[in-house]
Structure 1
Amino acid sequence: MATLQTNPSAYFFIYLTDWTVLILTIYLVVAFINLVLDRKHGMNYNRTDRGDIQIALRFRHKLQWLLLNVYMNVSILVTVIYWSFLRASIPILLDLTLHAFPCLLGLIDVIITPIPVRLQHAVYPLGYGVVYLIFTLIYWAAGGTDPNGNTGIYPGLLDWEDPGTTCITIACSMGAVLISQVILWGMFKIKMVIIRRCSSTSNDEVGLDGENTQGDSGEPERGTFYENVAFNGGDDMNMQSLSSKEQCK
């Protein structure tokens, strides 16, 4: 039998909550770096064969997009499961910081940032979940326990000593991630519709910072990733003007 330890910090990396808070921290650091670098150096653009102008995403932009897709879905899952089944007696501020604020930040990000939400990107939080499940299986097989000596990291939900219940939890969690992705995608779509309808005809070609998005050469001015994607719809990163009749209908 594994030796019972009384130091909860020794078990930090066994919990999905702590994994997700770590992902959130990395995301915020990457987002801040991108904001600073894009504001200083601007974005790069490529012209497609059809003449459209697309944002040339750098690796750091793609990393930010990936991290956002992972944490905003999993944080919703963590919040729902924790407050429904796992609520513990810990200080309320710590409780909210770990099990409510990450979810709230994810929803705020979808509302105020223009990074697109795509249905197919549900594969990223699902893949993240598979990695965590593999870890829990290895941890259980190695004789690992929770701070109370239980074989399950989440007793009654995720315990490989009870594979039936664990499989049900896994199936429900995957279904919940798919549902949350649909909800987040719907929120993004509604936001973009509001942005388009609130954009007056006279400002069709004016960027979010009040400057024209196209220079004398027809190329867009170099703004930040956020400004350019938001103003131009965000769905496919195309830098097409919102003044086209098809987009304004």
Structure 2
Amino acid sequence: MTITKYFKRQFQLRKFRLEHDVISDFYISSCQRNRSIVPLLILRILIFVGCLSTVIASIVLTVRIMSFKYWLIYLTHWGIVINTIAAGFGLAVSVRAFIKGTIEGSLGLPWYVKAYWLSLNIATPIALFITIFYWSLLTGLEQDFAINLTLDIFIHAVNSVLMLALLLIARHPMFLLHFYFSIGIGVIYLIFTLIYYAAGGTDPFGEHTIYPMIDWEYPGQTIGIVLLSALGIVILHGLMVGLSAARDALGKRCRKETSYGIDDAYY
């Protein structure tokens, strides 16, 4: 019965929108018993610094070896920029609450809270997709996509760890029906690859593709890969929703609240 109630709540039409009644869930950490803003603020500072440092290091090392224009074409780099945006807006929410106190929500979520929630809905499944895509399909190829081993680990593995941490340390929900945010970014990137191919763009190796398996010279194969990728992103989004529900149940136990079933995950 609790599972039925959970999915009934998840598939309400209002869950397509960025609406949530408890604004403090966006700036109080999941397991703490008090209402202090400081713990989540500190953690978000660390995550933002990690994300920003990764972007800066990636740009610097890439420009040393090749043109900056090639940095712009890879989904990995789009992903770490989105990670930094999500971490930045999360930090902004915490800083705003720390400086001015309780965030007023009588007229709905403020724009910067919505911006954080939206960007995290994009960043987390995309980060996991990039990690899986890279280590399963791009390593071991004749073309070496790794500029630096340490950087390679940060942009293709630590990226996911940081986004999972950003999700799991807070209390705000993730809704199944928000999957279209990350799919939307995927569509934008897909259109970019098509335009880049049509304009005669190449990768650093002189190939007319950005990734070997996304080759518009073979549209049938490429569309098949794209559809499988879209399905993968939706599945990963669903996994993030499940993890956030488990986080909420565990958080309620840590806070010794009387109700912590899955049906109470989004109250």
Q: TM-score range by the shorter chain?
A: 0.7 to 0.9
Identity of aligned residues (%): 34
2:97 pairs with 26, 38, 54, which one?
Answer: 38
> Which amino acid is the alignment partner of residue 44 of structure 1?
E
Structure 1: give runs of 5+ residues left out of the alignment: 1-5, 47-54, 205-232, 237-249
Q: Of the two, which has the highest radius of gyration? A: 1
Matched, 1:27 2:86: yes
> Which amino acid is the alignment partner of residue 180 of structure 1?
L
> Which amino acid is the alignment partner of residue 86 of structure 1?
L
Deviation at 1:100, TM superposition (A): 0.8
Query: Which of structure 1's runs of 4+ aligned residues deviate more than 4 A?
Result: none
> What's the counterpart of residue 191 of structure 1?
247
> Which amino acid is the alignment partner of residue 207 of structure 2?
N
Q: Is the 8 A contact 1:115 1:234 kept in 2?
A: no
Matched, 1:163 2:219: yes
What is the distance in 1 between the residues matched to 2:186 and 2:82? Answer: 13
What is the distance in 2 between the residues matched to 1:122 and 1:137? Answer: 23
Cα displacement string for residues 82-109 of structure 1 (whole angstroms, at most 9, x for unaligned residues): 0011123432211011111111112112
What is the distance in 2 between the residues matched to 1:195 and 1:118? Answer: 18
Deviation at 1:115, TM superposition (A): 2.2
Deviation at 1:169, TM superposition (A): 1.0
The CA RMSD measured in Å over matched residues stands at 1.8
Cα displacement string for residues 22-68 of structure 1 (whole angstroms, at most 9, x for unaligned residues): 1111222222222111111121133xxxxxxxx83100000000110
User: TM-score under structure 1 normalisation?
Assistant: 0.72
Question: What is the 5 A alignment of 1:134-149?
Answer: 134-149=191-206
Structure 2: give runs of 5+ residues left out of the alignment: 1-64, 259-263
> Which amino acid is the alignment partner of residue 166 of structure 1?
T
> Which amino acid is the alignment partner of residue 154 of structure 1?
Y
> What's the counterpart of residue 181 of structure 1?
237
Matched, 1:91 2:148: yes
What is the distance in 1 between the residues matched to 2:211 and 2:96? Answer: 41
User: TM-score under structure 2 normalisation?
Assistant: 0.68
1:101 pairs with 123, 148, 158, which one?
Answer: 158
Q: Is the 8 A contact 1:43 1:56 kept in 2?
A: no
Tell me how many residue pairs correspond in the alignment: 192
What is the distance in 2 between the residues matched to 1:23 and 1:116? Answer: 19
Q: Is the 8 A contact 2:80 2:159 kept in 1?
A: yes
